[in-house]
Amino acid sequence: MKLFIDSANVADIKKAYKVGVLSGVTTNPSLVAKEGVKFEDRIEEILKLVPKVESVSAEVTPEAETAEEMIAQAEELIKINNYDKNITIKLPMTLDGLEACRYLTDKGIKTNVTLIFTVNQALLAARAGATYVSPFLGRLDDISEDGVQLVVKIAELFRVHNLDAQIIAASVRHPDHVTRVAMAGAHIATVPFSVIEQISKHPLTDQGLEKFAADWKKAVKG
Ligand code: G3P
């Protein structure tokens, strides 16, 4: 399973990229709004920060409701990256979003259909040619459903029917989500930087490091 960072924060994206674990970046209107910067400027900045990743998802804004409006926004977003291949247009899971997805896919542009909460929605997005589908786990858990089970089912659906859309497990909130979606067959988990930090740690690693440091003080040095 690949890791994307789910953030529009430059410092966090830089830190994660430097560690060398990132395959992509996802953003959304809420994440960009938190940053207090112009959307297009931040997308441009991110694209420059992470030249070697496979995908940077830039979402059409809530002002675009029709497929035509989404496509018009997508065309502006694509220009930011001079048509390089790592910009991915993120579209909402609506019929208009699917129509825009099909149009952009047919033009060779990568797409990510977001806000997926059912297997059927994932099926539609895959059939509309989405490069990526994004089921939101945490938000299902929030309403007492099992978000990971949705990923299990979508992975099975894609396997049985040979669909090549990649599953991005999104709304990932904690380390157990990461492990479980990896085992479930998600191709990608998009996670906040805090989760990358959390999954790098273990108390026994810290204890082990402390012991090595203490013992090293007693070692004979040349
Ligand atoms: O990847 C989607 C994510 O940004 C939403 O996460 O925690 O707001 O449900 P959350």
Place of tokens 């904690």: 174
| CA–centroid distance for 17 within its chain | 14
Residue bearing the CA closest to ligand 1, atom 5: 171
Question: Is the pLDDT assigned to residue 68 strictly greater than 90?
Answer: yes
Atom of ligand 1 nearest to the CA of 30: 4
Please state the pTM of the whole predicted model.
Answer: 0.95
User: Alpha carbon of 158 to those of 103, 142, 162, 187, 197: distances in Å?
Assistant: 22, 25, 5, 11, 31
143: how many CB neighbours lie within 10 A of its CB? Answer: 8
Residue bearing the CA closest to ligand 1, atom 8: 171
Residues labelled as active-site residues? 90
At 151-202, the pLDDT tens digits run 999 999 999 999 999 999 999 999 999 999 999 999 999 999 999 999 999 9
How many angstroms separate the most distant Cα atoms in the chain? 72
User: Alpha carbon of 50 to those of 87, 116, 125, 151, 188: distances in Å?
Assistant: 11, 26, 27, 27, 17
At 80-101, the pLDDT tens digits run 876 566 899 999 999 999 999 9
Question: Is the pLDDT assigned to residue 130 strictly greater than 60?
Answer: yes
- Distance from Cα 173 to the centre of ligand 1, integer Å: 8
